[in-house]
Structure 1
């Protein structure tokens, strides 16, 4: 099942429920270019995520780091980490995405010693999974098997998923990671989420740098440093980009018009909206709307 439009709550937490009918596990193929935004937008979720790129290559951003993942390799993204993905070099990237509740990975008795320390570590936002490493190949093979289990739903497939997931986790944690718990990093993560949360709620209104900084309990300069470090963009440019993202959904509604959409997403000038939209999407809002109506 391809998720083409990521719905997030006021904290940018993804609202998609990642589970089969019985298990708190989901596995599906994602074609990045088919997402409504043309990329997988910034979001986070409580579930841990494993990615296996089966075609092309992608650039994943996890918190402030960027990582290219090529065909055949994969990525572990930890619980609660902000992440997004873009196709690299228009490669038509397709990847299998496996999401699982951390509490389901192992039994309750084993969660505290073997899962919680890794979920809570501040130095483990992601791990590159190299198919040339035995442990990496084991994880990637197991992702394929879980995907197959969910697609085929053979007898007792839930038990098979459980076994493969346990094997995935064992291969990950037995690599000897030295875990760190930096309170400063925890606070930084929380503050960036607070600022993004505020933007999500108020993007359609007049937004100032002071407003965003206040939401993160930071000075204006510190606020700018946070955005530059994590998102590689200024706070107000992020607001502009977010407004453009929100306009994409509205423009695909048959009854909408460009001027209405511009004001709904926070622009007070149609001409400025068209200018920013063209810069972001390489076409005008009207051309985008016509393109989507013809699909």
Structure 2
């Protein structure tokens, strides 16, 4: 029997569960070492800042797809549904920071006049500053300094990180003032329905799930459900469900000693043989072979 805590931890890794991150988290990573983060669309309460150090990375931000290259700076809106993957399978080294909005100024005048238009504008889900802009390396340097400050962990480092964050946001505001932001269609019932359906899958993946059940969670028809998954996830609802289950199972293979059968059952697969078939098709090895590579 797999413990509830193990399942919760496995799901949190790919879902960026609310409350799972510290107020300021900054790391330098290579995306090939984070395979479990490449596949599942997710959203979280934190603002996400990314600066590409080497290589290229593809971002799927709701229905938009963009490629960020070395020297590009990207800011992703809190609550925007997104996922990332290496461009053409190439390794990509980047610095990434998650910042909870609660750390931003409590001065209501400043917050309402400057921050809310920039970060509360739900029609703009991301801000890309290309490497050709002189501002991109400046923003990247600020992000790297936040990372260094957090790593040093000197007394009062949180205050220094928050100060650097406000400088970063001020520069973003100068680049993307509200009057210059494009007037895109405000996300409404479609994205809300999509989030409810993804949340339903994340909560019920161990159970038997049908297309009708997924659609009902979003209060849409089955055909509309398929259209929304195609639009926002670039795959069918059932493909997303299977991908989600496989990623949970892979995290359990990494973090537990439970049997393959127990993991298959815990992730909602009807049988061990079906699970092994699906896993092999996705990862080019069986669950047993995958686990043996870890040791």
Q: Shorter chain as normaliser: what TM range?
A: 0.7 to 0.9
Higher RCO (CA < 8 A, seq sep 6+) = 2
Which stretch shows the higher mean deviation, 75-84 or 223-232?
Answer: 75-84
Shift of 1:155: 6.0
The structure with the largest helix share of the pair is: 2
Query: In 2, are the aligned partners of 1:122 and 1:181 still within 8 Å (CA)?
Result: no
Q: Which residue of 2 aligns with 1:68?
A: 67
Distance (Å, rounded) in 2 between the aligned partners of 1:261 and 1:248: 9
| Match among 261, 264, 267 for residue 262 of structure 1 | 264
Runs of 5+ consecutive residues of structure 1 not aligned to the other structure: none
Partner of 2:97: 98
1:48 aligns with 2:47: yes
Give the corresponding residue for 2:147: 147
Length-normalised TM-score, structure 1:
0.86
**Cα distance between partner residues in 1 of 2:116 and 2:129:** 21
After TM superposition, give the deviation of residue 180 of structure 1 in Å.
4.4
Asked if the contact 1:102/1:115 (under 8 Å) is kept, the reply is no
User: Does the residue aligned with 2:293 lie in a helix, a strand or coil?
Assistant: helix
CA distance in 2, matches of 1:252, 1:147: 27
- Alignment partner of 1:37 is 2:36: yes
Query: Does the aligned pair in 2 maintain the 1:123–1:180 contact within 8 Å?
Result: yes
Contact 2:11 2:248 in 1 (8 A): no
TM-score in terms of structure 2 length: 0.86
Structure 1 residues 158, 248: CA separation in 2 closer, same or farther (over 3 Å shift)?
closer
Partner Cα distance (1:232, 1:181) in 2: 21
| Count of residues in Structure 1 that have an aligned counterpart in Structure 2 | 283
Query: How many angstroms apart in 2 are the aligned matches of 1:189 and 1:206?
Result: 24
Cross-structure match for 1:121: 121
Give per-residue Cα distances to partners, 1:66-87, cap 9 Å, x unaligned: 2221222221000111122212
Secondary structure in 2 aligned to 1:127?
strand
* Structural mapping, 1:269-280, within 5 Å: 269-280=271-282
Distance 2:28 2:64 in 1: 24
Unaligned ranges ≥5, structure 2: 1-8
Contact 2:12–2:20 at 8 Å: present in 1 too? no
Q: Report the Cα offset of residue 64 of structure 1.
A: 2.0
1:116/1:141 CA distance change after superposition, 3 Å: same
Alignment of 1:194-233 (within 5 A): 194-233=196-235
Q: Match of 2:288?
A: 286
Pair 1:17–1:38, CA change in 2 (3 A): closer
Change (3 A) 1:6 1:120: farther
The change in CA–CA distance for 1:163 and 1:281 in structure 2 (over 3 A counts) is: same
Partners of 2:229 and 2:235 within 8 A in 1? yes
Q: Give yes or no for the alignment of 1:132 onto 2:132.
A: yes
Q: Look up the match of 2:242.
A: 240
Q: What value does the CA root-mean-square deviation take over the aligned residues?
A: 2.5
